[in-house]
Amino acid sequence: MAEPARAKPKPTPETQHFWDGTQAGELRLQRCDACANVYFPPRPFCPACGGRKVCVFKASGRAKLYSYVIHHRPVPGFTPPYAIAVVELDEGPRMMSNIVDCPQTPEALELDMKLEVAFEKLDDKITLPLFRPAKG
């Protein structure tokens, strides 16, 4: 029997571009043509001004650690203790993620530490954006 896997996202028409992006090794965000607001999660209009003219662009993948917990309870697909983090992208929006290539300890996980995106392929359709300490 296979190991229990982590919960897998199922894209919708409005989020498909995001998941296509991660599969292609890109973290894609959206920007409003009218007010230049950059936002997440995906939707085909700007939540700041309501404008429907928005574009998709490739984000830098750079972020910093905004906050986290280190979860000690069992969850399918995870080996506790593991950090559940919220990262702040250089472009502004925040997203939940996990921090990889880093000990899952309060000492190693310093708030505001610089991070970069690291893609983890779950299957042929879904690749998750995770983050690791930025190099250099």
Partner 1 sequence: MRRNQVAVVGAAETTELGVIPNVSQIQLHADAALNAIADAGLKLSDIDGFATAVETPQQIAHYLGITPTWVDGTSVGGCSFMLHVRHAAAAIEAGLCKTVLITHAESGKSNIGRTPRMIGPDSLNGQFELPYGVSTPASMFPIPVLRYMKTHGITHEQIAMVAVVQREWAAKNPRATMKTPITVEDVLNSRMIAYPFRILQCCLVTDGGGALILTSADRARDFPRKPVYILGTGESVETPMVSQMQTFDSSRAFRTAGPLAFREAGIAHGDVDHLMVYDAFAHLPLYGLGDLGFMPHEEVGKFIADGNTRPGGKLPLNTNGGGLSYMHSGMYGMYALQESVRQMRGIAPAQVQGAKISVCHGVGGMFAASGTIIFTNER
Q: Which positions lie near partner 1, rule CB under 8 A?
A: 6-12, 15, 40-41, 66-73, 75, 77-78, 81-82, 84-86, 94-98, 106, 111, 122, 128
- Give the nearer residue to partner 1 in terms of CB position, either 46 or 82: 82
- Give the nearer residue to partner 1 in terms of CB position, either 7 or 55: 7
Q: Are 115 and 64 in contact (CB under 8 A)?
A: yes
Coil, helix or strand at residue 40: coil
- Give the nearer residue to partner 1 in terms of CB position, either 13 or 136: 13
DSSP designation for 80: S
Please report how close the Cβ of residue 47 comes to partner 1 at its closest, in angstroms.
Answer: 10
**Chain mean position to CA 116:** 10
Q: Are 62 and 116 in contact (CB under 8 A)?
A: yes
DSSP designation for 99: B
Please report how close the Cβ of residue 44 comes to partner 1 at its closest, in angstroms.
Answer: 14
Token pair 């992006």 is found at 21
Please report how close the Cβ of residue 34 comes to partner 1 at its closest, in angstroms.
Answer: 21
